[in-house]
Structure 1
Amino acid sequence: MGSLERRLQAFVKLGHFLRDFRLDDSSSGTSDDEFTRAVERAGSRNGWFTRENLRHALSAWGKELTEENLRTWISDYETPQKDPKVVAIIMAGNIPLVGFHDLLCVLITGHRALVKLASGDTELLPAVIKKLEGFEPELKGSTEFSKGVMKGFDAVIATGSDNTSRYFEYYFGNKPHIIRKNRNSAAVLTGDESQQKLRALGEDIFRYFGLGCRSVSKLFVPEGYDFQALFSALEPFEDIKD
């Protein structure tokens, strides 16, 4: 899979591509018909993946995948120079590219990924992998997509509900593993928040229709809290009711 430097540069190039990518043909930016078609298929096959949320997810990863960010992050870890492992990744599909971080962790450290895609997000990751392999041919073959029973892996990263986590523990408990269950986020308000902070809270509540594990789904407020300022700050998100 080449050196760490070559793998890192592949992700840097992917970041450049995602920052420049425009989903609308009328916009200036990177033109890539094949990638655009994959993004559009993702939206047509999953109604929760609106064009706005697809744009947001791709843009967010573009902003994260900078050389400075990647070097700072990876500098805290040792990466193997040989004997790569095969890591099975069972991905969630609640928001676009939600499993990309797990894949990034596996590939940039020189390991191989055996990926089971969620039924709700089958288009985006293969398209991203194809771009990565174009930027760094030595990454070809480092990611395999599994549609049946997963075999031949050394470790597991699995994300699912509290119910599926019990199955994950049963089937994968004898391997090194990270198994994620349901998560919910809460916000604590004092009543002194600015409109800017409350608008940012609105983003945390409504982005991806609140389906993310980090989406705020509960508010703690002081007794007698005046909700008018909060409701005013949340008005830009009122279209979500449709």
Structure 2
Amino acid sequence: MSGLTKEKVIIAFKKLGIKLTNPTDILGNAIYAAENSNAWFTAENIKKSLSSFAEMLNEADVEQWFKTISFSSSPKKIGLILAGNIPMVGFHDVLSVIASGNIAMIKLSSSDDKLIKAVIAELLNIEPALASKIEYVERLKDFDAVIATGSNNSSRYFDYYFGKVPNIIRKNRNSVAVINGTETKEDIENLGNDIFDYFGLGCRNVSKIYLPKGYDIANFYEGIESFQPIINHFKYNNNYD
């Protein structure tokens, strides 16, 4: 027995949140390695993602989250096929499996195989008993349920292989914005974040905008002007061209 309790997991998550408020202090090498292996993972975007997890794992929200979760006394093995389109995108699935007392069988994306491992290592430093809840795998087998994230194409294979067990299979997702013409410059700047954060590669990034008839498009371009330097990133520029 690991001696792991729900209370210990709550404490570990809170402590991880505190550590992630200064990610460079504990994850500097991992950030550097991730940036060098995946050009989309700039240090700025990596830190943005880590900071969002730090914010999510604040004491009040962790306490509230765990009030809604039953901690299993008979753990099941949950296979996780993680995406790698933006830094740490699959980490919430890992946290959710651990929070429920189950075992995370993690198939990392080759695009994000350094950051999540490094953050989990920090979590295990905080609470070593959590090692009983983490398995890294190259191929899923002997699982009880699956959460798989991929493209519309890969989802067909996921349905075939995992359709007989409880599953969550995520496909391509796209987000849209609707402008009605009353937006302030600040509103458009915030929309710019929704468009350009993580180079627009996240499923929540806006990729289509609906404008009212007669809308002055200059208002939109003025609002997103501050994001112009993104074009200097070579991979973004190559795709833009």
Q: TM-score, length-normalised on structure 2?
A: 0.93
Higher helix share: 2
Which runs of 5 or more residues in structure 2 are unaligned?
233-241
| Residue matched to 2:8 | 6
Number of the residue aligned with 1:77: 69
Give the match for residue 171 of structure 1. 161
Match of 1:111 among 98, 102, 106: 102
Once the 2 structures are TM-superposed, how far is the Cα of residue 190 of structure 1 from its aligned partner? 0.5
Query: C-alpha displacement at 1:201, in angstroms?
Result: 0.3
Identity percentage of aligned residues: 45
Write out aligned runs for 1:217-228 (5 A): 217-228=207-218
Q: Name structure 1 gaps, 5 residues minimum.
A: 23-30
1:87 equivalenced with 2:78 (yes/no): yes
Q: CA deviation at 1:78?
A: 2.3
Q: Tell me the C-alpha RMSD between the 2 structures.
A: 1.0
Moved over 6 A (4+): none
Q: CA deviation at 1:230?
A: 1.3
- In structure 1, which of residues 125, 132, 148 is the aligned counterpart of residue 116 of structure 2? 125
Name the SS for the 1:140 alignment partner.
Answer: helix
* Separation in structure 2 between the aligned mates of residue 139 and residue 85 of structure 1, nearest angstrom: 15
Q: What code does the residue aligned with 1:138 have? A: A
Match of residue 141 from structure 2:
151
- C-alpha separation between the residues in 2 aligned to 1:138 and 1:76? 23
Structure 2 counterpart of 1:215: 205
Q: Which moved more, 1:214-223 or 1:70-79?
A: 70-79
For residues 240 and 161 of structure 1, the distance between their equivalents in structure 2, rounded to whole angstroms, comes to 25
State the 1:133 CA deviation: 0.6
* Partner of residue 40, structure 1: 32
Return the TM-score normalized by structure 1.
0.93
- How many residues align? The count is 230
Aligned to 2:185: 195
**Counterparts of residues 55-74 of structure 1 (less than 5 Å):** 55-74=47-66
Give 3-state SS (helix, strand or coil) of 2:20's partner. Answer: helix
The residue type paired with residue 215 of structure 1 is N
Q: Which amino acid aligns with 2:223?
A: A
Q: Which SS does the other structure have where 1:156 is aligned?
A: strand
Q: Deviations over 1:50-101 (max 9, x none)?
A: 1110110111111111121111122123222x11011000000000000011
Q: Which moved more, 1:210-219 or 1:132-141?
A: 132-141
The one-character-per-residue Cα deviations of 1:181-210 (angstroms, maximum 9, x if unpaired) are: 010000000010011111110000000000
Q: Which residue type is aligned with residue 166 of structure 1? A: R
Contact 2:175 2:207 in 1 (8 A): yes
